[in-house]
Amino acid sequence: MSQESDTHPQKTSEQEGSRNTPLQRHVGKRVFGRIDRDHPIGGEMSDILQGILRHARLPWLLAHHSNLIVLALFSFINGCISIGLMSILAVLTRSPFVFPSLGPTAFLFFYTPTAPSASPRNTLIGHAIGVCAGYFSLVVTGLTMAGPALAIGVTWPRVIAATLSLGLTAGLMVLLRAPHPPAGATTLIVSLGLLTQPTQLVLLMIAVLLLTMQAFAINRLAGIPYPIWSPPRQPAGNADGDGGRATQKKD
């Protein structure tokens, strides 16, 4: 009986660690990691919307800032504005300021803005890695002057280019501690021949920078502690399940 009673608190702490860790991302006194109280699915949009409505002095809407339909509408409008601005810039300059991986980057900015992958550092470095890895794979396979794979079809050199670019992007993001999942799409855009000219790749990075600046402005306006550059350091035991592993090691 004594052994069971001694081990019971340890089991309880392990269970609590594994259950609470995914939502234990504290910034100041606020707990992020959920859309609202009833939907712990990793979002912070309700906090962003609440801050914007407070600044806009719309108290009658604040009561509904965590409603799922309201959040979906806010996500729709914000997504349209984010990519719409880039599209207008693309039309005015006749330059490719719009590319597919901007979509998931914008979603990270306004869905989990305090996540490390959404920080300006990880975003800019991640996309830069994707661009460089994609272009390097084109040089290695001799496809810098070839047309896009969607038009001329997939060849063995193209398979090698896509494989090499994605592998390099994943490895370098880990090596440089700058994970940004949408960069995986960026490197495929380049290695598949959709954007291959150096000027296009520079414009791609400018578009990423502009979107990052927009995310900084909107999140800071909403009162979200969006970082200036690097993501804030998470306390030991609160980052992605470390708490549960630390408890097990101590046992």
* More confidently predicted of 188 and 251: 188
Is residue 174 situated within a structural domain?
yes
For 124-148, what is the mean pLDDT?
A: 96
Identify the domain containing residue 175 by its residue range.
59-221
pLDDT tens digit sequence for 10-46: 444 444 444 443 333 444 444 444 555 555 444 688 7
pLDDT number for residue 66: 65
- Asked if the structure places residue 246 within a domain, the reply is no
The domain tally of the chain equals 1
CA distance 45 to 102: 18
Query: What pLDDT score was predicted for residue 180?
Result: 97
**20 lies in some domain:** no
What is the per-residue pLDDT for 41?
46
Flag whether 11 is in a domain. Answer: no
What span, in angstroms and rounded, lies between the C-alpha atoms of 24 and 251?
21
In a domain, 100, yes or no: yes
71 is a domain residue = yes
Mean pLDDT over each residue of the chain, to the nearest integer: 80
